[in-house]
Amino acid sequence: MRNETTVLDDGTPLFLQIGAQLADDIADGTLAEGDRVPSSNEFAAFYRINPATAAKGINVLIDDGLLEKRRGIGMFVASGARERLLAERRQRFAQQYIEPMLAEAKRLDMDVELLVSLLHDTSKRNGDGDR
Partner 1 sequence: MTPTISVTQLGRTYKDHAALADVTLDIAPNAITGLLGRNGAGKSTLMRIIAAQEFASSGTVRVLGEDPMENDRILRRITFVREDQIFPDFKVRHVIRAASWFHPNWSEELAQTLLADFELPPNRPMKKLSRGMRSAVGIVIGLAARAEVTLLDEPYAGLDAVARQIFYDRLLADYVEHPRTVLLSTHLIDEVADLLEHVVMIDHGRILIDAPADTVRGQAATIGGPADAVERFVAGRPILHRRTMASVSSVVVGGGLLDQDYRQARDLHLTVQPLSLQELIVHTSETTTEARKSA
Edge-to-edge order in the sheet of strand 74-77: 36-37, 74-77, 67-70
Tell me how far, at minimum, the Cβ of 86 lies from partner 1, in Å: 21
Q: Is residue 77 within 8 Å of residue 37, measured between CB atoms?
A: yes
Q: Residue 46 or residue 86: which is nearer to partner 1 going by CB?
A: 46
For the chain, helix, strand, coil in percent to 5 are 60, 10, 30
Q: Is residue 78 within 8 Å of residue 33, measured between CB atoms?
A: yes
Tell me how far, at minimum, the Cβ of 37 lies from partner 1, in Å: 17
CA distance 90 to 82: 12
Q: Residue 106 or residue 120: which is nearer to partner 1 going by CB?
A: 106
Tell me how far, at minimum, the Cβ of 110 lies from partner 1, in Å: 16
Q: Residue 10 or residue 111: which is nearer to partner 1 going by CB?
A: 10
Tell me how far, at minimum, the Cβ of 73 lies from partner 1, in Å: 19
Count of CB atoms situated within 10 Å of the CB of 1 = 5
Q: Residue 9 or residue 113: which is nearer to partner 1 going by CB?
A: 9
Where do contacts with partner 1 occur on this chain (CB under 8 A)? 8-15, 41, 44-45, 47-53, 56, 100, 103, 107
